[in-house]
Structure 1
Amino acid sequence: MGEIINCSRCGELYMENAFRDVCAKCAKEEEHMYEEVYQFLRKRENRAATLQRVVEVTGVPETLIHKWVKKGRLHAAHFPNLGYPCDRCGALIHKGKVCRACTDDIEGELVQIQREEAFEAKKQEHLKQTTYYAANKRR
């Protein structure tokens, strides 16, 4: 069952649900703004418009356009200059949470960690196998 929470845009109380992250009034406003952006982008000459140009012409906040691209309401295949920021570095991406460069960087760091762990395990195993002899002189 949903909880009663405050709307992230206007602060009004509403029943949280899986479909919206804002209250009904703000959702209606967002839908109106979406239609405005979509009507602008549907025109052939505007399909390659940059994010800044769309914001400038429609007045819709950049964060909403990012949200719509992330949710798949505005497809990158149709509008190649639209996207949303990478969660790690902020570069413009069209799918996923991180860009290719960050993915490669993270994978490289994981490989390095695995190498270091393997080296430490081998070192510990070697220390366990080493036998020390003490020479006791008897008189």
Structure 2
Amino acid sequence: MAELRNCPSCNSFFNYTGMREVCHNCAQKEEDQYQEVYRFLRKRENRAANVDRIVEATSVERDLLYKWVRKGRLHPAMFPNLGYPCDNCGRLTTTGKLCEKCQNELKSELRTLEAAQEFRDEMNRQNRATYHSEKK
């Protein structure tokens, strides 16, 4: 069942079916811009272009480029200087939501937390096995 929404680009109403986030007209404009970017990147001298260079040459919004890389329409394997910002620090990444550095920091913090929890559990087990006697 379609849901009536406002297009975030042009603010017109459209039937949202889950397929795209913008109205048909804006989707067509995005597709035209994608084709322009892809034509630009297909040229051998532009394959190593970074996001700033692509924005400068094609006038496409940076967020749109990030969206295409996230969705896999522009592959970093083919265009090595492309990526999208890490959700934590903003560094460019090509997979997932976090860059390699943030992933490693998160894993390290989780290991520390697990070790602390294991230590607390061990201390609780030892305290349960301790018997106290009163001296008179």
Measured against the shorter chain, the TM-score band is over 0.9
Query: Which residue number corresponds to residue 59 of structure 2?
Result: 59
Aligned pairs for 1:110-129 (under 5 A) are: 110-129=110-129
Query: Which residue number corresponds to residue 19 of structure 1?
Result: 19
Match of 1:15, SS? strand
How far residue 2 of structure 1 moved from its aligned partner, in angstroms, is 3.4
Structure 2: distance between partners of 1:127 and 1:55: 63
Structure 2: distance between partners of 1:95 and 1:120: 36
Structure 2: distance between partners of 1:82 and 1:18: 27
Structure showing greater radius of gyration is 1
- Encode CA deviations 1:65-89: one digit per residue, 9 max, x unaligned: 0000111111111111111111111
How far residue 116 of structure 1 moved from its aligned partner, in angstroms, is 0.6
Identity %: 45
Query: Which residue number corresponds to residue 107 of structure 2?
Result: 107
Which residue type is aligned with residue 9 of structure 2? R
**Residue 75 (str. 1) matches residue 75 (str. 2):** yes
Which residue type is aligned with residue 78 of structure 2? H
RMSD of Structure 2 on Structure 1 (CA): 1.1
Structure 1 segments of 4 or more deviating over 4 A? none
TM-score (norm 2): 0.94
Query: Which residue number corresponds to residue 89 of structure 1?
Result: 89
Query: Which residue number corresponds to residue 8 of structure 1?
Result: 8
Which residue type is aligned with residue 129 of structure 1? A
Structure 1: distance between partners of 2:47 and 2:120: 55
How far residue 49 of structure 1 moved from its aligned partner, in angstroms, is 1.0
Which 5+ residue runs of structure 1 have no aligned equivalent?
Answer: none
**Residue 47 (str. 1) matches residue 56 (str. 2):** no
Match of 1:134, SS? coil
Which residue type is aligned with residue 72 of structure 2? G
- Encode CA deviations 1:89-113: one digit per residue, 9 max, x unaligned: 1111112111111111110000000
Query: Which residue number corresponds to residue 29 of structure 1?
Result: 29
